[in-house]
Structure 1
Amino acid sequence: MTELRNPVIRGFAPDPSLVRVGDLYYLANSSFEWFPTIPIHRSRDLAHWEYAGHVEGAAPGGSLAGVPDSGGIWAPSLSWDGERFWVVYSIVRSVGTPYFDADTYVSTAPDVSGPWSPPRRVPSHGFDPALHHEEGRLWLLNLQNDHRPGGRRFAGIVATELDRETLTPVGTTHLLLQHDRLVEGPKLLKRNGWYVLVLAEGGTGFEHGVRVARSRNLTGPYELDERPLMTARDDPEWPLQKAGHAELVETPEGEWFLSHLAARPLKTPEGPRCPLGRETAIQAVTWDAEGWPRLRQGNARPTITVEVPDAEPPAFWGAGNCARSPHPPAPDNAPPYYTLRSPAAPSWTDPTSRPGRLRLRGHHGPDSLWSHHLLARRITEHHTEAQVTLQANPTTFTQSAGLLLWYNTAAYYALDLTWAEPEGEAQHGQQWQHTGRTVLALTTRDENETRRAAVQEVDADTPLTLGVTVHRAEAQFWYLTDGTRTPVGPALDFTRLSDDHGTRLRFTGAMAAIHAVDLVDASFTADFTDFRVICTSV
């Protein structure tokens, strides 16, 4: 047997959907407002995972411009019908409102690396859809959302049969289950004559869990298991919290396993916080004498170590938790970057004209929902260092470029090279009339407050190396002077960049990023070299 260690995909990797095809396992995750859309990993043994591609074209028109933070692509569900892969997902355009304004799409491909068919819209009752394939028939499962005043936003699980070719509804929609406790994320399988419905329960926070229901008929009625299949909500000290949003898979040998999301909280005076976001984990499952699934360990709490069948692991393209997952170099050796709301422009990472260099042209500011010129890598451990060497010549306060710790447009820390008035002179917005100075400015953004935490004058005639060290709850920015790290500003609270801080809904995870801003005419450019993010498990 091989021992896996959870989370198997670390850092921002929520809402896993797991399927086996032959002797390979495939797993898709939510991408929300980030590109590449719907990253997919593969494994031979459930313990070792490598990036296998993403659903290119999942966002119609190639853009998610304007979607709110933590909007965009929610909870994709991956499936295999014996001939091709299917993925169904919702694009959510309103977060924190009764409506969600979600559009549900289906795409197919012969392989997870593509090509994926153009997305086709299907009935959109809510979000967290899934597909069930049975004897040539196709069923769409979904959450039903009731937006009306006094309505239940999580008003039950519904199923609609779709024509496999046209994806149009066949017959009526069926209500499978309603429950007093919030249930969502339905996944359906058939075993021993039972239709087994696996549900996410209790929301996405520390009350999260997995509940199972079953029926002899696909359209119900469904009997709910009296106890949860998995949850950590009864033990706040348990190392894997928020355990939920699960899917069952059977191995070729007839063993069963469960993919699910989980989070590793840090203790803070304000309570537990999870800056790494929701991650992907695997648990072993058995079936009891009455036909209900149970975690192998005999209780409902997820474990960190799990024994899985031996298999030849795939050869990873790279090493290290930060680099390995989820986005490796593309066939042309492009770096594994995330981008916000649109794909990266080819010129950002063109290795032929500027070998080893990234050139970003400034555009909107970091609070924009429309056009970020930003490249990010996930933070996957509570001890992380990020650094980059930057060369730029800002001549106005409307131009800046630098290194960020990023959660979303309302929560980030930015160390930027920019322009400022001479020391002691007030901000007056007429920089073209006066001689100024080049500075490193440390900016903190925390929902409704943006604050300048430090300003340090620097010599920008030569390349400047910027960095940040994260150790658990603390983040310290610095820059190199004569090979020595010079701190910029105070240590900052890294846990503010988490799902659990603030008043707005948050569903992603912390990133390290580089960016460039030019609010006037997008003529300012910044060159970055040696952007690295090193994550260490301690």
Structure 2
Amino acid sequence: MPLVTNPILPGFNPDPSILRVENDYYIATSTFEWYPGVQIHHSKDLANWELVCRPLNRASLLDMRGAPDSCGVWAPCLSHDGSKFWLVYTNTKRLHGSFKDTPNYITWAEDIQGPWSEPVYVNSSGFDPSLFHDNEDGTKWFANMLWDHRGRPRNFAGICLQQYDPDLGKLVGPRKNIWEGTSLGITEGPHIYKRNGWYYILAAEGGTEWLHACSMARSRSIWGPYEAHPQNHILTSKDDPFVALQKAGHGDIVDTPEGRTYLVHLTGRPTGQQRRSILGRETAIQEVYWADDDWLYVKNGPTPSLHVDLPAARDDTKYWAEKRYTFENNLPSDFQWLRTPEPDRIFKVDNGLVLYGRESIGSWFEQALVARRQCHFSFDAETLVDYSPEDERQYAGLTAYYNQCSFYYLTVTAHSGGERELLLMKVSAPNHQAKLDSPATEPIPIPKEGRVKLAMSVRGEKLRFSYAMEHGDLKEIGPVLDASTLSDECAHDWGGSPFTGAFVGVACSDLNGLAREARFDYFLYRPVRHQSDRYGYLDDGGKIG
């Protein structure tokens, strides 16, 4: 079988939920505050994946305006009961503090492309919900982690189970905490399976950072009691800080038609001495097997493997291809925006991408920011913007963005006299102090008329902006910046929300309330090849001065 290199979904694609319907595989991943919600990828062979839809695409299904960074859609579960697809998800409203406001919903569709039903509210007792279809008696069971705001003895209180009645559209019958997890704690992300008369729980434990793990337990009754796996954690990299795939955990399993079993799981690839995962939390895959003792084991595990035998080889042509987006009719599927279910208020596609200036780039409500995931450790990005600001409260340009506390932003703006200039913004803000650092460089005057080319080059941990008028040669602006600050690790160290990933895109703000338009002619994303090292990948081309 061909050897494929992990991850299979590079860039910000965490918390995978996988299923197979006949010969088609689907993976659903978390999107947090990025809209539309939930990424669903499709594959025929487990090696080659293509984004096919984001189902939470209207206000009745998802509205995240006002949601803090790294809230929104957490850990969806995609399943199929033989006749239709089911998607359960959390729309998290609060992250920090004792309370978690985590309403859980269910929606369904006969086709993966939809239309998806109006959502059914289920509960708010915890997050990371899943739906198990017991094909023997037709019952459906809803499971989620149980949050205890009192912290007695811990906030992560275990796995809560209750029957779901699809005809009544609500939970029915008794509710029970069926498994409190192992001593590693922080038990979440449950999936339930049935095999050979056993009910199995596969859960994430240890938190979604360096101690992350996939843990398993089983019982003859769905209500328990559950006994833990002999290894406790069937997959983890917590005991090997030098393995390439770190943070391994939060998984789900799938069988191939030939009877092989695979586990998809969350992972991160830290690089550099500071071990920062610039590409966020990604999705990897491992081959697993059922042993004679009816327990599941990871082949060559429990440490995750960088290279895995899959049914087919991977074609990396698309992954390494340069993409030039011209925004002719629709927003390309690679792009998302933040929080709002009303995209017509922030952009339109009309032979170019037109952004309407709204709130600041760090707003939690309505900002005109359209971006795509950073999926490579090294890349070049470029755009051409037509924008005529009146003063310093109107600005638009190119951004490398993690969240409101961590971004770089090269903007076309103006000073109070109305003359246009370029301003390079740098925000790295511990403890949610989203304060603009001292300008990375003095503002640069530019002609009052004419389109402006804005570009950035990222080579691993180094980032550099450049600019030119439309037909001029690019000139570097500002110092070499630290791209690794756009990472989960920095968000965590700064007291923030370490759950998303780096994006690159365009934005526009108009704090005068006039919604002044910025037109972007194209957006270029050019991957740069790299070589591997013990942590995953380092770059070998395109020096930054």
TM-score, length basis structure 2: 0.90
Question: Structure 1 residues 53, 523: CA separation in 2 closer, same or farther (over 3 Å shift)?
Answer: closer
Q: How many residues align?
A: 513
* Preserved contact between residue 392 and residue 460 of structure 1 (Cα < 8 Å): no
Shift of 1:4: 2.5
Question: Structure 1 residues 332, 485: CA separation in 2 closer, same or farther (over 3 Å shift)?
Answer: closer
* Bigger mean CA deviation after superposition, 437-446 or 331-340: 331-340
Residues 1:257 and 2:262 aligned together: yes
CA distance in 2, matches of 1:282, 1:485: 41
CA distance in 2, matches of 1:517, 1:528: 14
SS in structure 2 at match of 1:210 = strand
**Aligned partner letter, 1:490:** P
> Which residue of 421, 431, 440 maps to 1:453?
440
> Which residue of 329, 338, 352 maps to 1:340?
338
- Equivalences for residues 150-189 of structure 1 within 5 A: 150-179=152-181, 180=183, 181-189=185-193
Residues 1:524 and 2:516 aligned together: yes
Residues 1:372 and 2:358 aligned together: no
CA distance in 1, matches of 2:28, 2:294: 28
- Please name the residue that 2:540 is paired with: none
- Please name the residue that 1:302 is paired with: 304
What per-residue deviation string (whole Å, max 9, x for no partner) do you get for residues 459-507 of structure 1? 2411111011111111111113564331111111111111101221220
- Please name the residue that 2:534 is paired with: none
> Which residue of 288, 293, 297 maps to 1:285?
288
* Preserved contact between residue 321 and residue 380 of structure 1 (Cα < 8 Å): no
**Aligned partner letter, 2:421:** V
* Preserved contact between residue 327 and residue 353 of structure 2 (Cα < 8 Å): no
- Equivalences for residues 202-241 of structure 1 within 5 A: 202-227=206-231, 228-241=233-246
**Aligned partner letter, 1:477:** F
- Please name the residue that 1:490 is paired with: 479
**Aligned partner letter, 1:403:** L
- Please name the residue that 2:541 is paired with: none
- Please name the residue that 2:539 is paired with: none
CA distance in 1, matches of 2:511, 2:82: 51
> Which residue of 388, 407, 410 maps to 2:405?
410
What per-residue deviation string (whole Å, max 9, x for no partner) do you get for residues 120-159 of structure 1? 1002220001000013101000101000155511001111
CA distance in 2, matches of 1:323, 1:230: 35
CA distance in 1, matches of 2:348, 2:294: 56
CA distance in 2, matches of 1:221, 1:69: 37
- Please name the residue that 2:125 is paired with: 125
SS in structure 2 at match of 1:319 = helix
Shift of 1:5: 2.1
- Equivalences for residues 9-28 of structure 1 within 5 A: 9-28=9-28
Shift of 1:56: 3.1
> Which residue of 521, 528, 533 maps to 1:536?
528
- CA-based RMSD of the aligned residues comes to 2.3
CA distance in 2, matches of 1:368, 1:320: 32
Shift of 1:289: 2.3
- Please name the residue that 2:465 is paired with: 477
Shift of 1:58: 6.6
- Equivalences for residues 78-157 of structure 1 within 5 A: 78-134=78-134, 135-148=137-150, 150-157=152-159
CA distance in 2, matches of 1:63, 1:385: 33
Shift of 1:330: 11
**Aligned partner letter, 1:290:** D
CA distance in 1, matches of 2:116, 2:328: 17
CA distance in 2, matches of 1:118, 1:207: 37
Shift of 1:46: 0.3
* Preserved contact between residue 58 and residue 118 of structure 1 (Cα < 8 Å): no
Shift of 1:458: 1.7
* Preserved contact between residue 383 and residue 470 of structure 1 (Cα < 8 Å): yes
CA distance in 2, matches of 1:262, 1:59: 31
SS in structure 1 at match of 2:302 = coil
* Bigger mean CA deviation after superposition, 158-167 or 26-35: 158-167
Structure 2 spans left out of the alignment, 5+ residues = 531-545
CA distance in 2, matches of 1:174, 1:331: 53
What per-residue deviation string (whole Å, max 9, x for no partner) do you get for residues 283-317 of structure 1? 100122212111112x2111122112249x9x99x
* Preserved contact between residue 421 and residue 445 of structure 2 (Cα < 8 Å): yes
> Which residue of 181, 193, 196 maps to 2:200?
196
Question: Structure 1 residues 195, 149: CA separation in 2 closer, same or farther (over 3 Å shift)?
Answer: closer
Question: Structure 1 residues 308, 61: CA separation in 2 closer, same or farther (over 3 Å shift)?
Answer: closer
What per-residue deviation string (whole Å, max 9, x for no partner) do you get for residues 210-237 of structure 1? 1111111111010011321111111112
- Please name the residue that 1:245 is paired with: 250
* Preserved contact between residue 334 and residue 349 of structure 1 (Cα < 8 Å): no
**Aligned partner letter, 2:25:** Y
Structure 1 spans left out of the alignment, 5+ residues = 421-430
- Please name the residue that 1:320 is paired with: 319
Shift of 1:169: 2.1
CA distance in 2, matches of 1:216, 1:156: 19
CA distance in 2, matches of 1:108, 1:159: 20
CA distance in 1, matches of 2:146, 2:110: 31
- Equivalences for residues 387-466 of structure 1 within 5 A: 387-420=382-415, 431=416, 435-447=417-429, 448=433, 449-451=435-437, 452-454=439-441, 455-466=443-454
* Preserved contact between residue 4 and residue 46 of structure 1 (Cα < 8 Å): no
Residues 1:507 and 2:505 aligned together: no
* Preserved contact between residue 10 and residue 321 of structure 1 (Cα < 8 Å): no
Question: Structure 1 residues 516, 22: CA separation in 2 closer, same or farther (over 3 Å shift)?
Answer: same
* Preserved contact between residue 384 and residue 536 of structure 1 (Cα < 8 Å): yes
CA distance in 1, matches of 2:104, 2:18: 19
> Which residue of 274, 277, 288 maps to 2:277?
274
* Preserved contact between residue 11 and residue 379 of structure 1 (Cα < 8 Å): yes
CA distance in 1, matches of 2:331, 2:9: 21
